[in-house]
Structure 1
Amino acid sequence: MRLLPSLALGVSLFLAGPAIGQNLRIGIQAPPSTLDPHWLLNLANTGALRNIYDTLVARDHEMKLVPGLAESWRVVDDTTWEFRLRPGVRFHDGSPLTSADVAASFRRVPNVPGNPNPYSIYLAGVTGVEVVDDLVFRIRTSGPLPILTTNLTQVFIVPRSVAQLGNPEFNSGQAAIGTGPFRVGSWQTNAPLVLRRNDAYWGGRVPWETVTMTPIPNDAARIAALLAGDVEFINNVPLQDTGRVQGDRRLALFAAPSIYAVNIYPDIERDNAPGIDAGGRNPMKDVRIRRAMSLALNRDAMARQIMEGYADPTDQPVPPFVFGAIPDRAVPAPNIAQAQALLAEAGWGQGFGLNLFCSPNRTPRICQAIAASWTRIGIRTTVEVVPQATFLPRRNRREFGLFVTVFGSLTGETSYLLGSQLHSVGTVPGLGTLNFNGLGAPATDAAIVQARATLDDAERARLLRALVQHVVDDSLIIGVGLLRSVNAGLATLTAPARADEEVLAVEIRPR
């Protein structure tokens, strides 16, 4: 798009680029809903809060584990891990990081009242923290827990002085104290999050004095803000604008494979699941119906046409490159005739009706394509896009009989999805926390627990792959496609496109 002369002048002046030590303005699609690092696990929150808080173990932009607040760790025995903290790390209030802070943070994670999506899945199997001294502590587990270090990349550490405080105190800023590269300047719900440089950051020189993360949920407005010079960086570039960014020498596109998958979640438990028009029955309880629904999808066309090539088709609910996924699985082509035959075989040749509930986060156009594919085989499907503010609470109350949303394998291992979504609810602490579809069976639960406790990496990978294969074969969770991390900024900046799609201001640097 050709810019008006006044706009072009403003951009050209601005695109000289900010010098190190100045301010960085970032336009983000989804704002954080909290400053509490243990409240409401989702990308919008973790992506913002990782600028403020640190974890014991960290991830680089390719999801590889690297030391965080813990400089080293070792396995003592099957139920004990010993960690050593970095010396000299201080919280934003000046207090030193000690093992007691770690113990207090671990105790807080599962005990935040009314938490709609807790972080407790990451501490499943952890029975306690033993403080050895200020810098050394031991984590006790109920059995072998080889994924402990992976899970700890999601557990933020706060000072013990605030660990007893609640969500309101964190959101007010009173308790929002971390060890990260930035401290909180100001924040209100749906308002910019202003961050100030932590000059005492243990990780080295922080490139920006101030970072402002401004919510710009509208795609067109976000790209316009970058073009107008109102921000220097944006995340989740509108796919229809990637070509424009790539063709503009003043801008740079930062893209890489993502861990986020678009998945379909059918209720396989309830006859009266909301949104199903089938005479009081639930056809999706029949595996043949779910397989027909999967066979009807043209995943390749969705990835190429709807997602502008910035997605990869798949029918497994996790990226093929994460630990425990099926790395070489061919994506099935759509087969309308076979799908219709399965419907008829299951006694639903006349079809039935469905309401497909859809998250607004990058999925509405995909939902429309899914609905068209199902209607073509006789499953009359309508789409209801649910506002982001109510989507998660309604999902948690199981008000959706069938929904589409984006799920990220945040730990880089399939055990996260399998443990939280495939395991039965309420049978093992910390597992089944995101199971809103009635999935789970005793044999499957036992296989998940076994895989999570297997120390040998090759054997654990085999067990996890078998579970993913079970999910795919029975279409328990129907994978549609893998998204890509696509950000943009001034050509004077450099930034890795993180596979977890988080935006870490400390990684955005002047060239």
Structure 2
Amino acid sequence: MTFASRLTSGLAATAIAALMAGAAGANTLRMADSTDIAAMDPHSMTESNTIGFLNHVYEGLVRYNQDLEVEPALATSWEFVEPTRLRFKLREGVNFHNGNPFTADDVVASLERAAHETSPVKSNIPGMKSIEKVDEYTVDLVLSGPDPIVLNYLTNILILDQEWMAEHDALLPADMRGGRENYAVANSNGTGPFMLESRQPDARTVLTVNEDWWDEPEHNLTRIEFSPIGSDATRIAALLSGELDFITPAPLQDVGRIERADGASVIVAPALRTIMLGMNHTDKLHNSNLTDKNPLQDVRVRQALWRAIDMELIRKKIMRDMSRNTALLVAPPVPGYSEELDVLPPADAEAAKALLSEAGYGDGFEVGFDCPSSRYVNDEEICQAITAMWARIGVDAQLTSQTPSKHFEKVLAGGADIFMVGWATLPMLDSYSVLSALLHTKGDRMGAWNPGGYSNPELDALTDKVAVELDVEKRNAMMSEALKIARDEVAMIPLHQQPLAWAVRDGVNIPITADNKPRLWYATIE
């Protein structure tokens, strides 16, 4: 056994021992994920699993509900008193877990903290110019320009107690990647439905119910015991033996086994995350027998590559009938999605060959193909299948699979010809996320995830209008139009929305949502 496997095994054993040591009462939910939460400071990272967990301890001015609609949380109402001034009325009578009252001072301190130049989450509140206190229960968010999705951003900006932060020298956020920690990394003081009881990194984090929560709880939990268990086999064994009540993720290859076992079941739903292939649209390929031109610049070649991929076969054989094939770069719950446009061209190798011949590449060509390893559901298997499908039309894809960090380092540096990427549109939950980051011509604030250099002036103009259009109907129509342009030009090749799979013990009821964030304030144990 290697040192790495001994370490992984040791951490799993520690987590299981911690779970068994806890006296699991009738209303204790024992849960495990494949990774630990990064920290208790909600402004210290943008990692979605961590933010999702911390939503049980901290709250924002607004939140997403089970239907992924924005609803009031610490703010009860809001209105634009000026085009760039959004006024929030705050919820009165709310207390932090330490008993301190929630007021406008806490909102001002928290938003200034999140937007600080050293904050890892400042990109999650990009339009904020300032935050101003109007009175004890009213604040104004001043924006640098009109922002139709400012509320979506604010679902990810959680509120801390200003007095508590000042007392513990934590008025600035920690930066886990930069190695800068503070008191809020291991401690917490929120207003949410659960309170932190104890925190042992890489082993166990325990929450207890907040009996004084302002909302009317739909859950019946008294305690949440969370442990990270990286090994799929260990995580599943703990569920099936009754040592865990809830695990995420449940690997697709093990869904049948869990379903056949006594006392456990799997919850499956399509995720928001769309898996797609980006392409090099510049003048030359990086890895090809063609040194003087780039066939990917020809839309007929891009169409041929798309038509050659049999997504229905991938869905059945690799994704075990649990993914959702797509012709668009966003999932159905995302504003801008159009069912009318979501029509996948049938896989047809002969039609793909004809398109290549028409474009002057009847003899095929070589091209680099980069995929991450274990970043997305069955990513390597999907890429291997696509490589074989392209080979049938004469395209020799040189497949490189690497760890996610090395993969994205290469991709973002512009070193890949064709590459896999997944996009969930969070926290925006809006097509503007894809349009601005993946499809807009690369610039100061746009095209951050457009390393292939795709550029379309018409799509750019639509995206720029979408950024400031406040009329919902007009805005959605423009986003759909932009997504149609991307589809027709095959700016990227959409594959599918990958599935979410959670597993629970019988009697545990947890609503699953497409953003892959358990909302345990809706959970019940029978």
Give the TM-score band, short-chain normalised. 0.7 to 0.9
The residue that corresponds to 1:129 in the other structure is 131
Partner SS for 2:87: strand
C-alpha separation between the residues in 1 aligned to 2:90 and 2:429?
23
Q: Quick one: which of 216, 233, 241 aligns to 2:229?
A: 216
CA contact (8 A) 1:326 1:469 kept: no
- CA deviations over 1:198-251 (Å, ceiling 9, x no partner): 444333456444423322334333322211223111122222333343344512
C-alpha spacing 1:344/1:218, structure 2 compared with 1 (3 Å)? farther
The answer to whether 1:369 aligns with 2:385 is: yes
Q: Residues 97-136 of structure 1 correspond to what in structure 2 (within 5 A)?
A: 97-111=102-116, 113=118, 115=120, 118=121, 120=123, 122-136=124-138
**Two-structure CA RMSD over aligned residues (Å):** 3.0
TM-score (norm 1): 0.85
The residue that corresponds to 1:306 in the other structure is 318
TM-score (norm 2): 0.83
Partner SS for 2:271: strand
- CA deviations over 1:246-304 (Å, ceiling 9, x no partner): 3445123323332121121223247365x566437544333333222211111122222
The residue that corresponds to 1:65 in the other structure is 70
C-alpha spacing 1:127/1:346, structure 2 compared with 1 (3 Å)? farther
The residue that corresponds to 2:328 in the other structure is 316
- CA deviations over 1:12-47 (Å, ceiling 9, x no partner): xx9xx964443x221213433444433443433333
C-alpha separation between the residues in 2 aligned to 1:288 and 1:40?
41
Q: Which has the higher contact order (CA 8 A, sep 6+)?
A: 1
The residue that corresponds to 1:89 in the other structure is 94
Identity %: 27
Q: Residues 268-287 of structure 1 correspond to what in structure 2 (within 5 A)?
A: 268-269=281-282, 271=284, 273=286, 278-279=290-291, 282-287=294-299
1:396 Cα deviation after fit: 4.4
Is the deviation greater in 124-133 or in 487-496? 124-133
C-alpha separation between the residues in 2 aligned to 1:114 and 1:277?
45
Partner SS for 2:267: strand
The answer to whether 1:354 aligns with 2:344 is: no
The answer to whether 1:260 aligns with 2:268 is: no
- CA deviations over 1:58-87 (Å, ceiling 9, x no partner): 112221222122111123232222111212
C-alpha separation between the residues in 2 aligned to 1:332 and 1:129?
48
C-alpha separation between the residues in 1 aligned to 2:511 and 2:268?
8
1:319 Cα deviation after fit: 0.9
The residue identity in structure 2 corresponding to 1:421 is L
C-alpha spacing 1:48/1:130, structure 2 compared with 1 (3 Å)? same
The residue identity in structure 2 corresponding to 1:404 is M
CA contact (8 A) 2:284 2:291 kept: no
C-alpha separation between the residues in 2 aligned to 1:41 and 1:353?
34
Q: Residues 57-456 of structure 1 correspond to what in structure 2 (within 5 A)?
A: 57-111=62-116, 113=118, 115=120, 118=121, 120=123, 122-160=124-162, 161=165, 162-167=170-175, 168-169=180-181, 173-174=185-186, 176-187=188-199, 190-205=202-217, 207-269=220-282, 271=284, 273=286, 278-279=290-291, 282-328=294-340, 329-348=342-361, 349-360=363-374, 361-362=376-377, 363-388=379-404, 390-393=406-409, 395-410=411-426, 411-428=428-445, 431-456=446-471
The answer to whether 1:491 aligns with 2:506 is: yes
The residue that corresponds to 2:16 in the other structure is none
Unpaired segments of 5 or more residues in structure 1? 1-13
1:441 Cα deviation after fit: 4.7
1:142 Cα deviation after fit: 3.6
C-alpha separation between the residues in 2 aligned to 1:436 and 1:186?
43
Is the deviation greater in 172-181 or in 402-411? 172-181
Unpaired segments of 5 or more residues in structure 2? 1-19
CA contact (8 A) 1:31 1:214 kept: yes
C-alpha separation between the residues in 1 aligned to 2:412 and 2:58?
27
C-alpha separation between the residues in 2 aligned to 1:401 and 1:109?
36
C-alpha separation between the residues in 1 aligned to 2:345 and 2:371?
24
